[in-house]
Amino acid sequence: MPAYRLMSTRHHPDGSVETPSAVELAACDDHDADEQARRYPLEDFVEGADYAWLVDERGSVVCAFAVAVGRCA
């Protein structure tokens, strides 16, 4: 089963970006991982995070979510 990670990013006024946390998702494919990520409570993911990224086992971005509004970017 492929490994997927839902990772958050936090952008700072000075232009720096940090990735404070990641959640492992057990999904059988990109579609399943995307569905799981959409059900995840993104607004509670990480305080101050502005985006969440669904990343596959190769490190490729499958989808990006705007945390504040909880919709696909």
Segment 14-68, tens digit of pLDDT: 988 887 678 888 888 999 988 888 887 766 665 667 778 889 989 899 888 776 5
3-state secondary structure the chain: CCEEEEEEEEECCCCCEECCCEEEEECCCHHHHHHHHHHCCHHHCCCCCCEEEEECCCCCEEEEEECCCCEEC
Domain total in the chain? 1
Give the pLDDT score at 73: 45
Q: Tell me the residue range of the domain where 29 lies.
A: 3-72
Give the pLDDT score at 32: 92
